[in-house]
Structure 1
Amino acid sequence: MASHEIDRRMHFMGLGRPSAGYSAISGLLRRSIPAALAAFYDRVRAEPETRRFFRDEGHVAAASNAQQRHWDAIIEGRADEDYAASVRTIGRVHARIGLEPRWYIGGYSILLAHLTRAIIERPRKLFANRREHDRITAEAVAELNQRVMLDMDLAISIYL
C-alpha cells in the first residue's frame, strides 16, 4: 500500500492533518495505549482461538511493542511511507498466520473502546468552558474512529 493510496482513502473520509480537537487529546491517547494494549492482550490470552497465534509471552511482548509503535502513528495521524510499510507488514503477517478478520476487527474494537472511554471520561480543565470541552470531545472521538477505521481498512485490504 503506497502513501498515495492512503491519501486517496483519507480524502474520501475527509481526513487530513489532525484537527485541533484531536491534537488536543493526542497526549492522553498516547498515555492510554499501554493500558488498552494490556486489556487487548489479556483478552487474547483468555481466548484459545487467538492465544494460539503466540508462541509464548516473549512473542506477545514483541507484538505489543510493535503495536505500540503502530498506534503511535495512528494517533499522530501519519500517512507517510513508514506508516504504509507498517500497514503492509501487519497485513502480510495476518495473511501468513491465517488471522480471520473477525479477530482483527474484534481486537480493534477493544482498543477503540478503551481509547474512546479515555477521551470521554477525561476531566474538564479547571475554568474550561463546558461547550468547548464537549466540542473537543466530539471532534476527537469522531476523528479517532475515522483514523482507526482507515487503518483497519488498509491492513485488511492487504490480506484479503
Structure 2
Amino acid sequence: MTDFPLCDLFQITPKEVFARRAFLDLTDEDERHLATIREIIQADLDKIVGEFYDHLLKADELKRFLSDRRTVDRLQATQRDYLLSLGRNADQLQYFEDRLKIGITHERVGLKQKWYLGAYAILFEIVSRHVGARYVHQPNDLLRLLSSFKKIVTLDMVLAVETYYQATTQRLEGILQQLTDAQQQLQEVSRLDGLTQVSNRRFLMESLEVEWHRSVRFTRPFTLLLVDLDDFKRINDEYGHRFGDFVLQRTVAVMRSTLRPADLIGRYGGEEFAIGLVETDGDLAKQIAERLRLKIALSPFESEGQKANVTASIGVASVEPDVDRVEMLIERADQALYQAKSGGRNQVCIYRRPYP
C-alpha cells in the first residue's frame, strides 16, 4: 500500500493525473490564474465561508447536519483549507487523494449527493462574485480567471462524485455479501435484537469491525460509545420486567433521535448498548455523548401507569494509532464506562491512555 490508498483504489497514477488535466486543458497559465484567485479568496475568506454557510442553512434537511456548533466550526475550518488549496499542486497525487476523501466522507455520513454537488455550484458562484468585484473594468481578464476556476472546480467535482459512487457501491456489495454469508451460515439467526430492533451483538461486532478497518485504512476518525443504564436491576425488580423492556425500547428511541442515520447502534448485552460514531473524533463524541446522557435523564419513562427516572453512564473511546484491533477499542470504552459508573453514574467519561 502506498501513501495514497484512495488513488490506489481508483487506479489514479501520475499518468492518469496527466490525462485528466490534459482533458480539462489545465495549463501553466491556469495555474497562474488560480494563484490569483487564491489571493482573492485569502482576502475575502471569512466573507466567502460565511455566505456559503448562510446559503446551506436555508435548506431544512441540511440543518440536521449543521445543528452542532462544534461540527459547523470544524467544517468551516475544513472549508477554509479547501478554498486556500484550490488548484495548488493539482498535478500531484496528494491533491487527488485529498479530493477523493471528500466523496468518501460525504457518503459515510449519509449526506445526499444532490446537496454537495449543489454546494459546489453555490461555492463557484460566491467565489466568482468576489473575483468579479475586483475585475469590473477588466472583463477579458475576469473571463480568463473564471475559465481557469471552472476547470479546477470541475476536476474536484468529478473526483468527489467518483468516490461517492464507489463508496456506495462498495457499501451495497458489502451488505449483499454479508446477507449471503448470513443466509448460508446463520439462517436461523436474525441480525436484529428482537426486543429493541437494533443490531444484535453478533452483527454489531461485524459492523464495528468494518468501520474500524475503514477508519484505519483511510485515517478517518471513528469513536465508540458504550452506554449502560444505571440501576437497571432495581428498575426490573421494582417495576417488573415488562416495564424494564419498555425502558430499553424507549432508550433506543432516544438514541435514534440523537444520532445520525450513518451511526451504528447495537445491543451489546442486557442493558448495555454500543454506538459507533463515524467521522467523529473524541471531542465531538463527548459532546454527543453528553447530549445523549442528558436526553435520557430528561426523557419521560412512563408506561401503563408506571413512571421511573432513568439515567445512563457512558464510556467513550476513539480509534488511535495504537488501537490495532476493534476489541481494544471496546476494552477502552469499557474502562471509561467503569470509570463513569464508579464515579457516581449518570456521567460521561473518555478513555485516557495512562502515562508511561
TM range (shorter): 0.7 to 0.9
The sequence identity of aligned pairs, in percent, is 24
- SS of residue matched to 1:74: coil
Structure 1's unaligned 5+ residue stretches are 125-129
In structure 1, give the amino acid aligned to 2:92: D
Aligned residues: 153
2:150 counterpart of 1:145? yes
Whether the 8 Å contact between 1:30 and 1:72 is mirrored in structure 2 is: yes
- Return the match for 2:42 from 30, 35, 38: 30
Partner of 2:115: 103
- Return the match for 1:154 from 156, 159, 174: 159
Partner of 2:105: 93
- Return the match for 1:116 from 114, 128, 136: 128
In structure 2, do the counterparts of structure 1 residues 24 and 93 end up closer, same or farther at CA, with 3 Å as the change threshold? Answer: closer
| 1:122-148 deviation digits (Å, cap 9, x = unpaired) | 156xxxxx6xx3332111011101111
Structure 2's unaligned 5+ residue stretches are 1-6, 166-356
Whether the 8 Å contact between 1:70 and 1:86 is mirrored in structure 2 is: no
* TM value normalised by structure 2: 0.39
Partner of 1:46: 58
The answer to which structure has the higher strand fraction is 2
Partner of 1:69: 81
Deviates more, 1:145-154 or 1:17-26: 17-26
In structure 2, do the counterparts of structure 1 residues 121 and 87 end up closer, same or farther at CA, with 3 Å as the change threshold? Answer: same
The answer to which structure has the higher helix fraction is 1
User: Structure 2: how far apart are the matches of 1:22 and 1:143?
Assistant: 7
RMSD, aligned α-carbons = 2.2
User: Structure 2: how far apart are the matches of 1:114 and 1:31?
Assistant: 14
In structure 2, do the counterparts of structure 1 residues 52 and 121 end up closer, same or farther at CA, with 3 Å as the change threshold? Answer: same
| 1:76-100 deviation digits (Å, cap 9, x = unpaired) | 3534233222212211111112222
Structure having greater relative contact order (Cα 8 Å, sep ≥ 6): 1
* TM value normalised by structure 1: 0.82
Structure number with greater Rg is 2
